[in-house]
């Protein structure tokens, strides 16, 4: 069941509408039942796998909690992490590895077909595996006690608003909310509905419209030259952001209808003035997860190696971010590019800061140039994220570079003729206008949220203005929403 489908709207209307009628003592079970019902609309078989993975984590976390020796605790942790990673490896990566082996050294092509087909059914496995691993590790690190109630842990893992693409909430944050379920405050329901509406707008009006020229260029890169690859590269960065932050808003908003607060996943990432700042603002729950459970243990282990330890920890962490998206060389490249960015940025951080402190003019300039440079670095890396193959990505970047140079030369000679190159982007003036207006509306809301002023501004706004804005968003979705909405990009991870 897609978040953008009418079935989902009907599902939410029924399950959220019936929620207040459910006795408070039964609400945890209610959330568990509707979460598994939602998951079963994707796959009944893989609902069983999710239940087994939850049981494994529940039992092993209990063993860690009751073990008397450090050796036994560590053994349960190791068994838990390996057992939880195995299904993810089997369904997400084994197909590609066996396909690669059968292509190169011969083998069993059926295995790659079976595992690749299975991954389509194992929806959400990349997200709930991380949730379960962090739960077991948190118990091992004594950050929290093992969960006493299996149904609570199962609800945490399967919670349907977060199952398709996060945000990746930590166990303690979710379990503490579910342990004290109270009647949902009307204000929370209202803010949830507002956020859902905003998410649908981002996805259906902006992201899907941006996706049209992006798909054209990235699916057939050799049919385009000139400025088209440049435009498509920038549009994809905006598409990815609006698509992913759109589904996140729908997820956080839906969770609020049941009284559950979820963590933030984005904080105006394209205004980041350094690449480190970008990763503090982009896909925040994945970045902080990897920061705590991969980077920190690695960096602590390698801290005696000096700068080499730092470089290696960053490289492995960013490779993990790339590979988490899937077994493709383009994702590996995406991770390695960001590893390079981060290593360069980290090693020069102190010198850059001192230079900016000494030169006030440069410092003022940096407030504009910093975000621009960072945004362009991110756009270039996203070409690898979106391209089908590495050679497509290199071709698009080469064409983009040539296209920019060609445009500069032609403009210097006072002509725009031939600037766009070959190929025609399927976009008209109305599309450009709708996307620009949509992005402007979005960014006003995001900036108010970033500065912590959103609730103050909406609170001070007269009711008729707020309701006019909601109706405008609703009408925009009905009139300009792409008819055949595409799947959210991050659901396939």
Partner 1 sequence: MNDAEIRARLASIFREVFDDESIALFDAMTAKDIEEWDSLNHINLIVAVEGSFKVKFTTKEVTNLANVGEFVALIASKLS
Closest distance to partner 1 from the beta carbon of 117 (Å)? 37
Residue 346 makes contact with partner 1 by CB under 8 A: yes
149: DSSP letter: -
Look up residue 43 and give its two tokens.
């796959």
> Does residue 268 belong to the site contacting partner 1 (CB under 8 A)?
no
Q: Which is nearer to partner 1, 356 or 454 (CB)?
A: 356
What's the Rg (C-alpha) of the chain? 24
What are the backbone dihedrals phi and psi of residue 253, each rounded to the nearest 5 degrees, phi first? Answer: -65, -45
Q: Is 295 in the site for partner 1 (CB under 8 A)?
A: yes
Q: By C-beta, is 351 or 413 nearer to partner 1?
A: 351
Stretch that binds partner 1, among 287-295, 321-329, 442-450, 457-465 (CB under 8 A): 287-295
Asked if 299 is part of the footprint of partner 1 (rule: CB under 8 A), the reply reads yes
- Alpha-carbon dihedral 118, 120, 193, 465, rounded to 10 degrees: 170
Of residues 187, 222, 264, 354, which one binds partner 1 by CB under 8 A?
354
Least distance from partner 1 to the Cβ atom of residue 310, Å: 8
Residue (159 or 270) nearer to partner 1, CB = 270
Q: Is 389 in the site for partner 1 (CB under 8 A)?
A: no
- 3-state DSSP percent of the chain in helix, strand and coil, to 5: 80, 0, 20
Choose one: 124-132, 161-169, 300-308, 451-459; the region binding partner 1 (CB under 8 A).
300-308
Piece in contact with partner 1 (CB under 8 A), picked from 48-56, 99-107, 212-220, 298-306 = 298-306
| End-to-end alpha carbon distance in the chain | 16
The values of phi and psi at residue 252, to 5°, are -65, -40
Shortest distance (Å) from residue 271 CB to partner 1: 14
- Say whether residue 219 binds partner 1 (CB under 8 A): no
Spatial distance between the Cα atoms of 163 and 165, rounded to a whole number of angstroms:
6
| Residue 53 and residue 87 in contact, taking contact as beta carbons nearer than 8 Å | yes
Where b means 16+ CB within 10 Å and e means fewer, 106-133 reads eeeeebbeebbebbeebbbbbbbbbbbb
From the list 136-144, 154-162, 381-389, 484-492, the region that binds partner 1 by CB under 8 A is 136-144
Q: Are 352 and 412 in contact (CB under 8 A)?
A: no
Stretch that binds partner 1, among 51-59, 165-173, 347-355, 383-391 (CB under 8 A): 347-355
Omega cis (within 30) before 74: no
| 451 near partner 1, judged by CB under 8 A | no
Give the interface with partner 1 as residue ranges (CB under 8 A): 140-143, 276, 280, 288, 291-292, 295-297, 299-301, 303, 314, 346, 350, 353-354
């Amino acid at each position: 069941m897609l978040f953008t489908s009418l079935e989902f709207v009907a599902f939410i209307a029924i399950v959220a509408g019936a929620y207040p009628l459910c006795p408070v003592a039964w609400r945890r079970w209610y959330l568990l039942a509707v979460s598994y019902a939602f998951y079963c609309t994707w796959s009944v078989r893989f609902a069983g796998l999710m239940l087994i993975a939850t049981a494994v984590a529940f039992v092993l976390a209990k063993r860690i909690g009751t073990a008397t020796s450090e050796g036994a605790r560590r053994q349960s942790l190791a068994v838990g992490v390996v057992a939880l990673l195995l299904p993810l490896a089997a369904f997400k990566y084994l197909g590609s590895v066996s396909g690669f082996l059968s292509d190169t050294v011969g083998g069993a092509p059926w295995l790659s077909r079976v595992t690749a087909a299975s991954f389509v059914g194992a929806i959400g496995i990349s997200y709930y595996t991380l949730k379960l691993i962090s739960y077991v590790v948190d118990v091992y690190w004594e950050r929290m006690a093992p969960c006493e109630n299996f149904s609570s842990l199962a609800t945490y893992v399967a919670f349907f608003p977060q199952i398709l693409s996060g945000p990746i909430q930590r166990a303690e944050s979710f379990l503490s909310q579910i342990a004290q379920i109270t009647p949902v405050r009307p204000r929370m329901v209202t803010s949830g509905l507002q956020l859902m509406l905003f998410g649908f707008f981002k996805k259906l009006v902006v992201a899907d419209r941006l996706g049209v020229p992006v798909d054209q260029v990235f699916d057939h890169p050799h049919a385009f030259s000139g400025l088209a690859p440049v435009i498509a590269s920038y549009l994809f960065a905006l598409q990815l952001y609006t698509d992913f932050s759109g589904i996140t808003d729908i997820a956080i908003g839906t969770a609020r209808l049941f009284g559950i607060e979820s963590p933030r996943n984005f904080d105006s990432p394209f205004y980041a003035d350094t690449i480190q700042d970008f990763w503090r603002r982009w896909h925040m729950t994945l970045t902080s997860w990897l920061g705590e459970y991969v980077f920190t243990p690695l960096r602590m282990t390698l801290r005696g190696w000096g700068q080499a330890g730092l470089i290696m920890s960053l490289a492995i962490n960013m490779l993990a971010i790339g590979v988490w998206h899937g077994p493709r060389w383009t994702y590996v490249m995406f991770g390695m590019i960001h590893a390079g960015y981060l290593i360069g940025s980290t090693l020069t951080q102190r010198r850059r800061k001192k230079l900016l402190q000494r030169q006030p003019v440069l410092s003022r300039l940096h407030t504009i140039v910093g975000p621009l440079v960072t945004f362009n670095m991110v756009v270039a890396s996203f070409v690898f994220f979106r391209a089908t193959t590495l050679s497509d990505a290199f071709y698009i970047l080469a064409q983009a570079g040539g296209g920019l140079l060609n445009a500069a030369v032609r403009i210097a000679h006072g002509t725009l003729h031939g600037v766009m190159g070959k190929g025609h982007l399927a976009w008209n003036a109305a599309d450009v206008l709708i996307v620009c207006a949509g992005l402007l509306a979005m960014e006003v809301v995001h900036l108010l949220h970033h500065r912590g002023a959103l609730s103050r501004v909406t609170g001070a706004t007269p009711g008729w203005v707020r309701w006019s804005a909601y109706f405008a968003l609703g009408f925009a979705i009905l009139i300009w929403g792409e008819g055949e909405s595409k799947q959210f990009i991050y659901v396939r991870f």
